[in-house]
């Protein structure tokens, strides 16, 4: 758009560098002056706002005094320099000249002049009254004459026009037309006054309404009129809290009830709403549980509390496992004077006696398909809970859980005599591994870790004979004797503790699992292949391998990315899906235990004889019931589901969560091995509340927001009222990145060098990988006496591969690792107390041993660093285990227990 002057030919461009352009003013009075001086009456119709945007005047029409120092127009500036054409000037001058001859004073002429003056006066009056009227371009001739007079005389136009008119103004002051207009003006003034009074009245009324509508009471009234009752109450409370100091909020029970309801429905929703709304923190909600009272027995209060949480859980997540176990307590009586009650007597909720409590039985439920847990009751007992008490507790627990929509599908217990007696009372056998509570079927299983420990204990004491296969400890002992004296061992985790555990070490599942492991199987098979062990040891190897796979099935965990990418590596540890290989193996083990004979050596007869029931061998029947129970559980879940069920993560069907609960109880009371009854009661309440406020899986989506808000009115507050009763950078001498698995690697013995070399070259390939390095790393393809262990250690993902996925490098690499290992063995003991032991060993290796690799980019420095870190860690770890095995025979029982935790 071209910027140009409205009165001349000047426009913005290179020819008008020193010329500025100025907009018409928006002020109406100044705008009228500019229009008058510019002789552009047509602009009056467009108005100041449009002319301000569309038209401009150049600086040549203003004098110097109209500008300030910055070159801007002053507020009083008006255009005064014009170059009008001569013809227009003559025409305008002829209009204002007084003729030399006097005009005849006729009546008609006087009347015409008077009317002209009246019209001009009225137009001026109207301008002064409204301040917004525009002078029309179609006014009578007399008006234009008067306007011309104004143009020619500037600011003194009125005086000039008065002095040059032939008829005096006083002669036309009281004409009939003016009287009529004056009367009309008076009427309009009266109407204006009346309307102005009404306007002031209405303005005051609106101001009063505005003040009234801004009050909190009016806002609450609008909430009641336009919102549902539940949400209206919440909004009204929020409006009050916003007026308070955030650090001084005192939440009512209604707000806490609502907050807890939202927290259970969707924890993410609750965290999202807390950013905008004034809601209590989760810690505040937990603090309200200080008034909860949780006594021994099945508290109806707890089940009502659980019912609130169950409303936010899915049907699938409410399929749960019932765990029962006992813990020893210190006999101690405590008088609670606030409640006038002595705590420490036998109390199961059904029967109370004066017998002093010696143990406590705890019931816990946990999710079968999700990782939640919740203790729901405890019972103080004098000895053990047996007979009618145990049956009544189990049955009532299942019924109460069923009433609040929790579906108990399986029960887990250990091999205690009281639970064994309960199973016999309910007719639980390998053929019927379940019992009924009303019309509900509950599968019964024994705790797999307890079964594994019992199997290990009996395997060490007796000989197993099943289907003409004999497994005995002597082969395992011979393997350990041959293996433990070697520098690099086939089974490095085996120690004297594993083969000769004391009473406390027998309670460690870790030791039993490390005995029945794939590493031991591979090591023993290697020695048999090398004729270090007799071929009769194969039956023992098969038994250990079978127990390893069986425990993997009963301890399976969710599929991770690492496991799913190597599905064949440890397939029995995948979640139980009733696949053919899982069912076939379970049937195989069921037949094995069904035909198992426990034999004891009779020194008098010098032969092995079968032992009878007097030895009370529990683990055989326990495994049979658990195997049948797992199959029955999957069958029941399939029958009760319309769609395909998810695989079962069987690690949830053990008592680890309950054992951890007992460990937490001990820690909460200062590592007290046997806490007192009052200590356990207080700790149970605390742990119950912590587990209770943990959200359940499936209710953690931000999409739940709309459902939460819609359910405010549907969920009655009375249902949950029960909840609230009244530096310098560190320099690493041996840097390696993102590798820590050398701490868990197994060290073999006769084939140790091959196995370790494969691990080291594999880690080097992660740093640098090319075709030359890959060929160097896969150079060994033949089976020899040095590669037996790698062959048996590998999992048979591809039967065509001799070593599976294990890497077998070139023989020169073996020689290099052997040489640096010799340097380590010669100097490590002397250098270990000294500083910079790793750097010193690295310098010795670099200065004394030469290694050639066909690839120039092979990470030799990384290899040495990794080897030294690996060897130092395993040397220290082995020393620590040897010293730990010597820590026996302590007289302090507490020290012994804590040492074996």
Could you report the per-residue pLDDT of 810-869, keeping only the tens digit for each? 677 777 888 888 888 888 877 776 667 788 888 888 888 888 788 888 888 888 888 887
Specify whether the CB–CB gap between 375 and 691 falls below 8 A: yes
Q: What is the largest CA-CA distance in the chain?
A: 173
Asked if residue 781 has pLDDT above 60, the reply is: no
Residue 109, pLDDT score: 39
Residue 11, pLDDT score: 84
Tell me which of 671 and 473 has the higher pLDDT.
473
Highest mean pLDDT among 84-93, 276-285, 676-685, 818-827: 676-685
435 conformational bin, left if phi > 0, alpha if psi -120 to 50, beta if neither: beta
Half-sphere exposure of residue 425: CA atoms within 13 angstroms, side-chain side: 14
What backbone phi and psi angles, to 5 degrees, belong to 593? -70, -30
Asked if residue 217 has pLDDT above 80, the reply is: no
Identify the three-state secondary structure at position 766: helix
Tokens of 459: 């395997």
Give the whole-angstrom CA distance, residue 437 versus residue 429.
17
Give the whole-angstrom CA distance, residue 133 versus residue 126.
7
Give the whole-angstrom CA distance, residue 12 versus residue 417.
108
Order of strands, sheet of 345-347, starting from the edge strand that comes earlier in the sequence: 352-356, 345-347, 373-381, 359-367, 319-328, 407-413, 440-446, 434-437
Strand 463-466 to 597-602 pairing: antiparallel
Q: What is the mean pLDDT of residues 880-893?
A: 55
Specify whether the CB–CB gap between 316 and 369 falls below 8 A: yes
Q: Which residues contact 161 (CB under 8 A, 6 or more apart)?
A: 146, 149, 150, 153
The owner of tokens 């620590």 is: 880
Alpha-carbon dihedral 513, 518, 522, 524, rounded to 10 degrees: 30
Specify whether the CB–CB gap between 531 and 788 falls below 8 A: no
Beta bridge partners of 320: 367, 408
Residue 134, pLDDT score: 36
Name the nearest CA neighbour of 696 among 368, 292, 437: 368
Tell me which of 285 and 705 has the higher pLDDT.
285
Q: What is the mean pLDDT of residues 633-645?
A: 85
Specify whether the CB–CB gap between 720 and 257 falls below 8 A: yes
Specify whether the CB–CB gap between 600 and 611 falls below 8 A: yes
Give the whole-angstrom CA distance, residue 255 versus residue 262.
11
What backbone phi and psi angles, to 5 degrees, belong to 173? -75, -30
Is the alpha carbon torsion for 489, 494, 500, 504 positive or negative?
positive
Residue 289 DSSP class:
G
> H or E element: which one contains 410?
strand 407-413
Share of the chain above pLDDT 90, in %: 22
Q: Which residues contact 222 (CB under 8 A, 6 or more apart)?
A: none
Q: Work out the angle at residue 342's Cα, subtended by the Cα atoms of residues 340 and 345, and round it to the nearest 5 degrees.
A: 150
Cα separations (Å) of 469 from 472, 540, 593, 776?
Answer: 10, 8, 12, 44
> H or E element: which one contains 118?
helix 107-130
Give the whole-angstrom CA distance, residue 516 versus residue 460.
12
Specify whether the CB–CB gap between 232 and 674 falls below 8 A: no
Q: Mean pLDDT over all residues of the chain? A: 76
Tell me which of 555 and 776 has the higher pLDDT.
555
Q: What is the mean pLDDT of residues 199-209?
A: 82
Asked if residue 13 has pLDDT above 60, the reply is: yes
Q: What is the mean pLDDT of residues 489-504?
A: 89
Give the whole-angstrom CA distance, residue 524 versus residue 540.
9
Q: What is the mean pLDDT of residues 95-114?
A: 40
Give the whole-angstrom CA distance, residue 326 versus residue 447.
13
Q: Which residues contact 588 (CB under 8 A, 6 or more apart)?
A: 546
Per-residue burial over 718-743, b = 16 or more CB atoms within 10 Å of its CB, e = otherwise? eebebbbeeeeeeeeebebeeeeebe
Strand 407-413 to 319-328 pairing: parallel
Residue 3 DSSP class:
-
Q: Which of 212-216, 466-470, 698-702 has the lowest mean pLDDT?
A: 698-702
Asked if residue 104 has pLDDT above 70, the reply is: no
Residue 101, pLDDT score: 39
Specify whether the CB–CB gap between 533 and 478 falls below 8 A: yes
CB atoms within 10 A of CB 891: 6
Half-sphere exposure of residue 329: CA atoms within 13 angstroms, side-chain side: 29
Order of strands, sheet of 463-466, starting from the edge strand that comes earlier in the sequence: 469-471, 463-466, 597-602, 607-610
What backbone phi and psi angles, to 5 degrees, belong to 9? -90, 5
Name the nearest CA neighbour of 441 among 633, 721, 201, 650: 633
What backbone phi and psi angles, to 5 degrees, belong to 342? -100, 125
CB atoms within 10 A of CB 20: 16
Per-residue burial over 467-495, b = 16 or more CB atoms within 10 Å of its CB, e = otherwise? eebbbbbebbebbbebbeeeebbbbbbbb
Give the whole-angstrom CA distance, residue 610 versus residue 615.
11
Render pLDDT for 891-901 as a digit per residue (tens, 0 to 9): 455 555 555 54
Asked if residue 737 has pLDDT above 90, the reply is: no
CB atoms within 10 A of CB 345: 17
Give the whole-angstrom CA distance, residue 176 versus residue 125.
17
Q: Work out the angle at residue 756's Cα, subtended by the Cα atoms of residues 751 and 761, and round it to the nearest 5 degrees.
A: 130
Specify whether the CB–CB gap between 575 and 647 falls below 8 A: yes
Residue 254, pLDDT score: 67
Render pLDDT for 126-162 as a digit per residue (tens, 0 to 9): 433 333 333 333 333 333 333 333 333 344 444 344 4
- Alpha helices for 516-640 (secondary structure H): 518-529, 537-553, 561-565, 580-594, 619-639
Highest mean pLDDT among 147-151, 544-548, 722-726: 544-548
CB atoms within 10 A of CB 55: 19
Per-residue burial over 299-323, b = 16 or more CB atoms within 10 Å of its CB, e = otherwise? beebbebbbbbbbbbeebbbbbbbb
Q: What is the mean pLDDT of residues 763-783?
A: 73
Q: Which residues contact 785 (CB under 8 A, 6 or more apart)?
A: 530, 750
Give the whole-angstrom CA distance, residue 12 versus residue 649.
83
Residue 376, pLDDT score: 92
Residue 541, pLDDT score: 93
Tokens of 512: 């039993």
Q: Which long-range contacts (CB under 8 A, 24 or more apart) does 706-711 make?
A: 707/265, 707/266, 708/262, 708/265, 708/266, 708/269, 709/231, 711/265
Strand 21-23 to 56-58 pairing: antiparallel
Q: Which class for 791: exposed (0-12), middle (13-18), buried (19 or more C-beta within 10 A)?
A: buried
Specify whether the CB–CB gap between 490 and 501 falls below 8 A: no
Q: What is the mean pLDDT of residues 613-632?
A: 86
Cα separations (Å) of 195 from 181, 184, 550?
Answer: 21, 17, 98
Asked if residue 707 has pLDDT above 60, the reply is: no
Give the whole-angstrom CA distance, residue 568 versus residue 571.
5
Residue 353, pLDDT score: 81
Tokens of 761: 């070259």
């Amino acid at each position: 758009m071209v910027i140009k002057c409205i009165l001349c030919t000047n426009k913005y461009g290179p020819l008008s560098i020193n010329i500025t352009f100025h907009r018409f003013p928006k002020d109406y009075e100044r705008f009228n002056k500019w229009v008058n001086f510019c002789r552009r009456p047509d602009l009056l119709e467009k108005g100041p706002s449009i002319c301000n945007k569309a038209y401009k005047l150049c600086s040549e029409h203003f004098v110097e005094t109209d500008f300030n120092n910055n070159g801007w127009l002053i507020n009083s500036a008006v255009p005064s320099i014009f170059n009008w054409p001569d013809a227009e000037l003559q025409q305008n001058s002829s209009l204002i000249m007084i003729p030399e001859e006097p005009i005849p004073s006729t009546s008609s002429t006087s009347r015409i002049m008077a009317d002209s003056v009246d019209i001009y006066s009225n137009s001026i009056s109207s301008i002064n009254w409204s301040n917004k009227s525009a002078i029309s371009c179609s006014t009578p001739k007399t008006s234009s004459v008067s306007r011309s007079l104004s143009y020619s005389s500037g600011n003194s136009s009125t005086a000039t026009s008065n002095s040059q008119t032939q008829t005096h103004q006083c002669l036309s002051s009281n004409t009939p037309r003016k009287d009529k207009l004056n009367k009309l003006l008076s009427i309009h003034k009266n109407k204006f006054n009346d309307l102005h009074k009404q306007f002031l009245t209405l303005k005051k009324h609106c101001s009063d309404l505005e003040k009234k509508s801004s009050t909190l009471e009016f806002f609450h009234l609008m909430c009641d009129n336009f919102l549902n009752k539940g949400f209206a109450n919440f909004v009204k409370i929020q409006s009050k809290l916003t007026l308070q100091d955030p650090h001084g909020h005192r939440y009512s029970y209604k707000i806490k009830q609502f907050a807890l309801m939202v927290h259970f429905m969707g924890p993410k929703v609750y965290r999202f709403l807390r950013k905008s709304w004034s809601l209590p923190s989760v810690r505040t909600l937990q603090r309200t549980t200080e008034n909860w009272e949780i006594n021994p027995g099945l508290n109806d209060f707890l089940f009502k509390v659980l019912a609130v949480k169950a409303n936010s859980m899915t049907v699938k997540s409410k399929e749960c496992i019932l765990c029962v176990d006992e813990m020893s307590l210190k006999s101690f009586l405590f008088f609670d004077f606030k409640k006038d009650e002595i705590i420490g007597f036998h109390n199961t909720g059904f029967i109370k006696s004066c017998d002093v409590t010696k143990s406590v039985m705890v019931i816990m439920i946990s999710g079968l398909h999700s990782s939640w847990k919740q203790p729901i009751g405890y019972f103080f007992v004098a000895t053990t809970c047996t007979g009618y008490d145990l049956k009544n507790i189990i049955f009532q627990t299942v019924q109460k859980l069923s009433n609040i929509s929790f579906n108990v599908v399986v029960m887990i217990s250990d091999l205690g005599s009281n639970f064994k007696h309960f199973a016999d009372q309910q007719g639980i056998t390998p053929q019927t591994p379940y019992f009924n509570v009303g019309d509900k079927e509950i599968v019964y299983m024994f705790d797999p870790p307890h079964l594994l420990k019992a199997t290990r204990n009996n395997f060490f004491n007796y000989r197993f004979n099943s289907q003409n296969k004999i497994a005995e400890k002597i082969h395992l002992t011979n393997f350990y004797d041959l293996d433990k004296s070697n520098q690099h061992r086939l089974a490095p985790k085996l120690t004297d503790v594993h083969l000769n555990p004391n009473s406390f070490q027998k309670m460690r599942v870790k030791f039993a699992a490390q005995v029945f492991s794939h590493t031991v199987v591979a090591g023993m098979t290697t020695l048999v292949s090398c004729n270090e062990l007799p071929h009769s040891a194969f039956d023992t190897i098969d038994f250990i391998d079978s127990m390893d796979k069986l425990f993997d099935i009963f301890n399976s965990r969710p599929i991770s990315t690492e496991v799913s990418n190597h599905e064949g590596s440890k397939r029995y540890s995948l979640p139980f899906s009733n696949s053919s290989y899982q069912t076939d193996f379970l049937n195989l083990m069921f037949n094995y235990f069904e035909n198992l004979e426990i034999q004891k050596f009779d020194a008098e007869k010098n032969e092995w004889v079968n032992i009878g029931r007097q030895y009370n061998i529990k683990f055989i029947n326990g495994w049979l019931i658990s195997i049948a129970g797992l199959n029955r559980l999957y069958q029941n879940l399939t029958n009760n589901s319309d769609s395909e069920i998810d695989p079962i993560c069987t690690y949830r069907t053990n008592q680890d969560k309950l054992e951890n609960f007992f460990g937490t109880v001990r820690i909460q009371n200062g590592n007290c091995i046997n806490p007192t009854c009052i200590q356990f009661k207080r700790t149970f309440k605390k742990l119950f509340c912590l587990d209770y406020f943990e959200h359940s899986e499936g209710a953690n989506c931000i999409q739940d927001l709309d459902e939460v808000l819609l359910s405010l009115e549907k969920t009655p507050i009375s249902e949950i009222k029960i909840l609230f009763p009244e530096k310098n950078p560190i320099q690493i001498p041996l840097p390696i990145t993102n590798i820590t698995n050398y701490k868990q690697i197994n060290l073999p013995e006769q084939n140790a060098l091959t196995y370790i070399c494969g691990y080291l070259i594999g880690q080097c390939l992660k740093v640098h990988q090319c075709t030359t390095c890959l060929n160097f790393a896969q150079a060994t393809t033949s089976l020899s006496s040095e590669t037996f262990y790698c062959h048996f250690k590998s999992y048979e993902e591809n039967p065509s591969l001799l070593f599976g996925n294990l890497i077998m490098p070139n023989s020169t690499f073996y020689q290099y690792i052997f040489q640096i290992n010799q340097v380590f063995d010669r100097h490590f003991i002397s250098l270990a107390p000294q500083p910079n032991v790793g750097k010193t060993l690295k310098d010795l290796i670099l200065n004394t041993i030469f290694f050639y690799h066909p690839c120039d980019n092979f990470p030799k420095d990384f290899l040495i660093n990794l080897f030294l870190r690996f060897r130092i860690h395993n040397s220290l770890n082995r020393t620590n285990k040897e010293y730990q095995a010597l820590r026996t025979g302590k007289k302090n029982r507490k020290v012994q227990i804590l040492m074996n935790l």
